[in-house]
Structure 1
């Protein structure tokens, strides 16, 4: 299976954005030398796979954004994603490091007694562990049905296709264009790539609503469209506003009696608000 992709300059940008010193990141992975981080960021060296989760956590970026991987996990991938070196995983549940190593290399399957403890250690279901083991042995494992793409991903893909009909540029190129239009760094290439892959924006921006809103504004400006086209929360905000209005005017939002739809009382309130807005000459 493919390892996670590592991009040193992206790591450096994420670290600086999080205001994390190289020394702090080095200490988080058990090193006293900040040069180890400098080596990663210039791609002279690369961190072990089991160190990637803690690196992503320290700089506050989702691991699938900072270090994306195309394709499902094998046994070694599951272990690394759980943050364990091979010897540490074996020691943690009291199994043979040699046995775990042979399973990861596709030479000898895990003992049945190891499946449950190892799945628990890695934070996955036993079925996921067994599927990963099959991949380690080169077996074809049916892929899970693809999840529906978030609205933001669908819109962003459409905009990229419209603007670049002769070939999609790299995510770094798109991010550079967005930042040039915005006049500041509002989005990184790894974030653009994650959005295009179908990762929910909440994960891409680690739940930071301001960063998400700024990035969406920047993307909309770059593509020359309304922010609403890229705002996958517009509907939920409208519903929140309707609930607030219903509470303020003490009316029911939903029609009673199982009829469904908006209640007549709410329709009357909205109609009154709209008429007042239209009658106001100073209204935009």
Structure 2
């Protein structure tokens, strides 16, 4: 199931930015402040159906605060509407949530009368609910207008791009390590662990040219990644998705080490060259 990505640190920073206490969030969600504390420290994670309420309490967009990897299945639609599985029995008028549970686990499809009621409760069309149901049965059904092979989400925001690159690394460095490496690579102190954390979690949404260069060096990618030019962004996102697909293939059949650093560097250099064609400027990150 392509569940939403929960980041404890991002939740903590969002709450602090909103100038709210843990007890404030707990009161909005009907849980204790101690429960919110456990979420923020990573000792536990909220149930998926809690995420919409969390985003609302923090005044954040659900897709920004808790991005989803891929298209939604039935369980995702339910969670995004804020319902637990047990609560669906009231939505469809049955004694138990068995029909919904069976459909979410790919065991038995919903009756047509249940489809209509759930689509209304979830705030989606009946067609969208049926597509989500097919995904629960392991059938890769794209959304209308989506490109084929689009089950991998395309990183659009600065935070998503950074997270996407980090997810491809065999050993994920800390924010402080990223800052130290970037500063060393360009010979200037332009990054801090706090700045990298802010960029990674979406608290900081823009980056200076010098900091962008250092960040690109630290992540072994091109500084064109941070460009706001629509054509360059398209190349970057397509290349990142390609890079992820190559890494996935290598991980399945390339032995314990997976994809070589040389091949990943080659992909990064190629996107830099492609960006030059649009910008008419040499990419300083390419050797």
TM-score (norm 2): 0.57
Which residue in the other structure is 2:13 paired with? 13
Specify the structure having the higher radius of gyration (Cα). Answer: 1
Q: For residues 99-156 of structure 1, what are the alpha-carbon distances to aligned partners after superposition, in whole Å with 9 as ceiling and x for unaligned?
A: 111111222111111112211211112111111111112223246326xx89977xx8
Which residue in the other structure is 2:100 paired with? 100
Which residue in the other structure is 1:141 paired with? 141
4+ runs of 1 displaced by more than 6 Å? 149-153, 167-172
Contact (CA 8 Å) 2:6, 2:66: kept in 1 or not? Answer: yes
Determine whether 1:222 maps to 2:211.
yes
Separation (CA, whole Å) in 2 of partners of 1:78 and 1:151: 22
Q: How does 1:191-270 map to 2 (within 5 A)?
A: 191=202, 215-216=205-206, 218-223=207-212, 230=227
Which residue in the other structure is 2:121 paired with? 121
SS of residue paired to 2:107: coil
Contact (CA 8 Å) 1:152, 1:232: kept in 2 or not? Answer: no
SS of residue paired to 1:109: coil
Contact (CA 8 Å) 2:9, 2:41: kept in 1 or not? Answer: yes
Determine whether 1:34 maps to 2:33.
yes
Distance 1:188 1:29, change over 3 A: farther
Separation (CA, whole Å) in 2 of partners of 1:29 and 1:116: 28
Which residue in the other structure is 1:67 paired with? 66
Shift of 1:87: 2.5
Shift of 1:30: 0.9
The count of corresponding residues between Structure 1 and Structure 2 is: 202
TM-score (norm 1): 0.58
Judge which range, 37-46 or 94-103, deviates more: 94-103
Separation (CA, whole Å) in 2 of partners of 1:90 and 1:114: 10
The unaligned stretches of length 5 or more in structure 2 are 183-188, 215-225, 231-287
